[in-house]
Amino acid sequence: MSQSGYVAMLDLGAGVVLVCAVVTLWRRSLAAIVRALALQGVALGGVALFLGLRQHDGALVVVSLVVVGEKGAAIPAVLMRVVPRGPTSRELSPLVNVPASLVAAGALTLLAFAVSGPVVALVPTTTGRLVPLGLATVLIGVLAMAVRKKAVSQIVGLLLVDNGIALVAFLATGGFPLVVELGASLDVLLVVVVLRVLGSEMRSRYGVLDLDELQELHD
């Protein structure tokens, strides 16, 4: 692949990651949110694959396949199974309404560009300039966790944070050592499983359909 084609593919992959993050804020249907997350996982894996092929880095190619399998397929499948049917399958009353959170996402993206200056300056290759997209995805993930009340959308927020960090790691460092990368992936998978078990425990024991019904602990 020519240099310009390679750069274009990386731009596309990183761009899709950020756009998917914004889509999760924009859509109210939980199923659509999970689908956006799956697409983001695939785009993230694609970025890693291109980098790995370009740098002849076998470990990174392995990681990219793991990413596609885990974040593009396995985790979304787990989440899809808990997306409830009927009226509870929509994020009806987030703490901040959709237009406002989209504006906030725009502001966070600008912030990401502002603070990642030193990183962009340090990474000599063309990949460095895409780092702010990863950071913006992280910030949008934190925003989603703060303003969304459904269990599924909180988990999605956490995964956005994780995907954003993975994108930064791929672009800035060409990926962590393989062991760390796999360890981190396993951790994420475990966290999702734990959250899922907690969610179904709440439902089966107390008939609590979602997090917004749990407001007992406070000062």
Partner 1 sequence: MLVLAVLVAPLVASICSGLVPWRRSIGWLGCWAMVVVSACGAALATRVLHGSSVTTLDGALRVDALSAVMVLVVGLVGTLACWQSVRYLAAEIEAGHCSRRHASLYGVLVQAFLAAMLLAVLAANLALTWVAIEATTIATTFLVGHRGTRKALEASWKYIAICSVGIATAFLGTVLVYLAALHAGSYVHAPASLDWTSLVAESHHLDRGVMRLATALLVLGYGTKVGLAPMHSWLPDAHSQAPAPVSALMSGVLLTVAFYALLRFKAVADGALGPGFPRLLLVIVGLLSLVVAASLLIAQHDYKRMLAYSSIEHMGLIALGAAAGTPLAIAAVLLHVLGHGLTKAVLFLSSGEILSSEGTSEIGEVRALLARRPALGAIFGLALVALLGLPPFSLFVSELGMIRAEVEVGLGWAAGVALACMVVVFAAMTSHGRQLLLGPVGPGEHASRTPGIVVVPLVSALVACALLGVLAWPLAPLLRAAAKTVAL
The footprint of partner 1 (CB under 8 A) covers 115-119, 121-123, 138, 142, 145, 151, 154, 158, 161-162, 165, 168-169, 172-173, 176-177, 180, 183-184, 187, 190-191, 194-195, 198-199, 201-202, 205-206, 208, 211, 214, 216-217, 219
Q: Which is nearer to partner 1, 11 or 212 (CB)?
A: 212
State which residue, 58 or 177, has the beta carbon closest to partner 1. Answer: 177
Largest CA distance in the chain: 60
Task: Measure the CA–CA gap between 193 and 181, rounded to whole angstroms.
Answer: 19
Based on CB atoms, which residue is closest to partner 1, 4 or 137?
137
Instruction: List beta partners, residue 90.
Output: 29
CA–CA distance, 218 with 47 (Å, rounded to integer): 43
Nearest to 48 by CA among 160, 170, 130, 178: 170
Nearer to partner 1, 28 or 149 (CB): 149
If the CB atoms of residues 53 and 208 are measured against partner 1, the closer one turns out to be 208
Compute the least distance from the CB of residue 56 to partner 1, in Å.
Answer: 15
Element (H, E) at 219: none
Instruction: Please give the Cα distance from 29 to 199 (Å, whole number).
Output: 19
Nearest C-alpha neighbor of 89 from the set 29, 24, 151: 29
CB of 218 to partner 1, least distance (A): 9
Q: What letter does residue 212 receive in the DSSP assignment?
A: G
Query: Burial letters for 39-77: b for 16+ Cβ neighbours within 10 Å, e otherwise?
Result: bbbbbbbbbbbbbbebeebebbbbbbebbbebbbebbbe
What's the min distance (Å) between Cβ of 207 and partner 1?
A: 10
DSSP state of 29: B
Q: Taking the complex as a whole, how short is the minimal distance between the CB of residue 119 and partner 1, in angstroms?
A: 6
Shortest separation between residue 4's beta carbon and partner 1, angstroms: 26
Using the minimum distance from each CB to partner 1, give the nearer residue, 102 or 145.
145
Q: How far is the CB of 69 from partner 1 (least distance, A)?
A: 20
